[in-house]
Amino acid sequence: MTTTDPEVRDELRATVRRWVEREVLPIASDFEHADTYPADLVGQMQAMGLFGITIQEEFGGLGLDLMAYIAVVEELAAGWMSLSGIINTHTIAASLIMGQGTPAQQARWLPGLATGAPRGCLSLSEADAGSDTRNISCRARRDGDEYVISGTKTWVTNGERAGIVALAARTDEGITCFIVEKDPGPTFGGITVSKNIGKLGYKGIETVEMFYDDHRVGADCVLGGEEGLGHGLGFILSALEVGRINIASRAVGVARAAFEHAIRYAQERHTFGKPIAEHQSIQNKLADMGTKLQAARLLTEHAAALKQSGARADVEAGMAKLFASETAFELSTEALRIHGGVGYTTELPVERYFRDAPLMIIGEGTNEIQRLVIARGLLRRYAI
């Protein structure tokens, strides 16, 4: 992946920010409360090329770097975090194909993914395999030129509307990643969306359970071809570094939105004859919020730049995800406090940030797991 000219990145960020202000902010909370899928907004995101930001130009993508990607993700999340979720597992699926797909697989799937038709999703987790990814039981049995997939996957964000599923299933060689084609909708071949999972926040987009009942795919759907057999978990864990950087930049977006609401309100709201921003305990909060927001952004940019350079970035992506998500959680809570009673109402988006923030602590590996990854990496680097 080549480095994008900073001017191009800034221009893209500004375009997306203007679009979010014009099209997203006026409707985000209403759509989120009603749990309504933002089909029109997704169409506009497609038209802007956002589903193909990191996909090479030869496949019809924008061919931009991860720094451009995180700028866009931050802007989307500052408007409505769910929009960045529609892009995230799509981009992970595309990254898997870009990084591990055979030339034939890249030519087959990347041009469509670059336009957002079809959109992609990632299906690793199962009921007994969330943090414990090696415990998956979904199985793919070879039958001539095909594989027969059976099992139940859960937590599949974008699963129903996706046309491409990057699926982890167990084969004789170990865990293998399949690229499963399907039509958007609740059923396709042997695949059934068996449950739409209700959520605290992160609404408007679906997170579903998917049941595979002897669903058949061609052997050419094994990511990486025959050589990819048994290497799927490694492929997915590496692509999840991009996912963690996405989560970190989403968290920066939510934290920024919470902070900006809070610092504006603190200057407007008066108590005891002066703006609450002049009370020292509110100033302490604003100072801590601004500092943590800046630190979260710098960690996220550092992780993206490292991953972009082709270096291993598990520790840095983990640090960015850990710190930025805890920051989003803390800043959304502090923004709620600073708003007093009105922060608790549905009149303002602050309560939405408060409900959206915990997802970033759990998704793409919980923060407890991030700490394990970070500690392992640090011990490797500082081994005596």
Ligand X SMILES: Cc1cc2nc3c(=O)[nH]c(=O)nc-3n(C[C@H](O)[C@H](O)[C@H](O)COP(=O)(O)OP(=O)(O)OC[C@H]3O[C@@H](n4cnc5c(N)ncnc54)[C@H](O)[C@@H]3O)c2cc1C
Only segment of 44-52, 199-207, 277-285, 299-307 that touches ligand X (CB under 6 A): 199-207
Q: How far is the CB of 127 from ligand X (least distance, A)?
A: 8
| Nearer Cβ to ligand X (4/176) | 176
From candidates 194, 225, 362, 377, binder to ligand X by CB under 6 A = 362
Q: Return the residue matching tokens 């900006």.
A: 260
Q: Calculate the alpha carbon distances from 199 to 33, 34, 318 in Å.
A: 11, 12, 24
Considering only residues 332-361, where is the footprint of ligand X by CB under 6 A?
Answer: 359
Instruction: Give yes or no for a contact between 88 and 246, defined as CB atoms under 8 angstroms apart.
Output: yes
200 lies in the site for ligand X, by CB under 6 A = no
Measure the CA–CA gap between 102 and 238, rounded to whole angstroms. 17
Residue span 121-160 as binding mask against ligand X, x where in contact by CB under 6 A, dash where not: -xxxx----xxx----------------------xxx---
| Nearer Cβ to ligand X (265/353) | 353
Measure the CA–CA gap between 326 and 151, rounded to whole angstroms. 34
For residue 30, the tally of other CB atoms under 10 A from its CB is 11
Is 364 assigned a catalytic role?
A: yes
| Nearer Cβ to ligand X (12/124) | 124
Cα 365 to the chain's mean position, in Å? 11
Measure the CA–CA gap between 364 and 362, rounded to whole angstroms. 7
368 lies in the site for ligand X, by CB under 6 A = yes
| Nearer Cβ to ligand X (96/338) | 96
Q: Which residues pair with 166 in a beta bridge?
A: 122, 179
Measure the CA–CA gap between 188 and 167, rounded to whole angstroms. 15
Indicate the DSSP class of residue 224: T
Q: How far is the CB of 361 from ligand X (least distance, A)?
A: 9
Q: How far is the CB of 360 from ligand X (least distance, A)?
A: 10
* Residue numbers at the binding site for ligand X (CB under 6 A): 89, 122-125, 130-132, 155-157, 199, 202, 207, 359, 362-363, 365-366, 368-369, 372
- Which residues participate in catalysis according to the annotation? 364
